[in-house]
Amino acid sequence: MNTTTDSTPEALRATMVDRIKSAGHARTAAVEQALRDVPRHRFVPAAQLADAYANQAVITKRAADGAALSCASVPTVVAMMLDQLDVQPGNRILEIGAGTGYNAALLATLTGPTGHVTTVDIDSEVTAGARAGLDVTGFADVEVITADGSLGAPDNAPYDRIIVTVGAFDIPPAWREQLALGGRLVVPLRWRGQTRSVAFVHDDDRLRSDSVKLCGFVPMIGQDSERSSHLDDDEQVTLYWDADQDIDPKLLQGVLSTTKTEVWSEVTVGASEPFDGVWLRMTATEPATCRIAADQTAVDSGLCTPAIPSRSPALAEGESLAYFTYRRVGSGQSGGAQAELGAIGHGPIGENLAQRLCEQIRAWNQDRMDEPTIVAYQADAPEEQLASHYSIAKRWARLVFAG
């Protein structure tokens, strides 16, 4: 572990990579070396040097309302997705979302002089910035294209690897069509209120996942299929759901004012133990899964107390709702704080929904590292291809979840 206090770019970059390694990413020597070689600060010249190498996103463009439109992603997430992509020397690579150009530089380093990297972004201001950063750092061979990323870049297809660095709600046909058989697609895919970086392998008429990791990304323009509605008159609590779900917000208005039922799972976690796998499991088995968000006023008043106020899984059916929560239950064997996972239900079948959510928690507890395999078919795939597994219908793709 690098322990120097030197604030030079080289020392800060070494510390960044050490941090990435300690988090379990940059698993190959090639990815580690690329991260050590490419100067991230040169791609975010407006940022302070320390910020350029901190484990945080560097926002490079915002909308009028302050929302992030483009950024240099969190370094640990960059490394995680490069691990998933598994670039080999000589690969032809397509990147959707040019950002600052930093990720394209890493890709070019990994594929080497016999490969080729194309990066696409719909925003000409973003592509101009990426082009400038790539040129000044010696990556002039990376091709930067201003175009709709959902259409890919057909002139340079087929690609051995496609990586998407913006949040996607769907898998456009062009990505599948331009990916070589056996090739890998890594995409931050959003469904049922959460985003996961999914690594797919192109297998004949389908894409099959072999890695699913929690992440968060600026959403792709024009793909948003998420709906939302406030649950209370003061607009302190918001429910989010996907366009294909049968959720009527009118039926849920005021549901949090109805009798509250708490159900506890007897499953506990330590202070630093992740429990996001519960949400992933829910999306693969519970059609009613959605997302709830409560502001601090709602939490302080007890109106709504999700485990993570800004984003927690919920189940919504008809006039009823249940959401994921936890309570402190003392210390574990190691002396750290412990929390018991559970659910709070409201409405006519709120208790039933809370019980179902707790069943998901208990099932996750049987093997916390288990993750479903996600198979993405074309939206019009014959029903017999889908077997008996639960699936989610999107505009262009049908996500099927297998054990």
Residue of 70, 73, 150, 312 marked catalytic:
73
Q: How do 289-294 and 312-317 pair as beta strands?
A: antiparallel
Question: How far is residue 188 from each of residues 43, 83, 168, measured CA to CA in Å?
Answer: 22, 14, 6
Structure tokens at 7: 């604030």
Report how far residue 371's alpha carbon sits from residue 368's, in angstroms, rounded to the nearest whole number: 8
CB atoms within 10 A of CB 23: 14
352's tokens: 């039933």
73 in catalytic set: yes
Q: Please state, as a whole number, how many other Cβ atoms lie within 10 Å of the Cβ of residue 371.
A: 18
- CB-based contacts of 324: which residues, under 8 Å, 6+ apart? 278, 279, 306, 307, 312, 313, 314, 341, 342, 343, 357, 361
Q: Tell me if 180 sits within 8 A of 94, measured CB to CB.
A: no
Residues 73-86 as b or e (16 or more Cβ within 10 Å = b): bbbbbbbbbbbbbb
Is-contact 82 102, C-beta < 8 A? no
Q: Which tokens go with 285?
A: 């088995």
Distance from C-alpha of 138 to C-alpha of 141, rounded to nearest angstrom: 8
Query: Taking the CA atoms of the chain, what radius of gyration do you get in angstroms?
Result: 22
Catalytic residues, by residue number, are 73
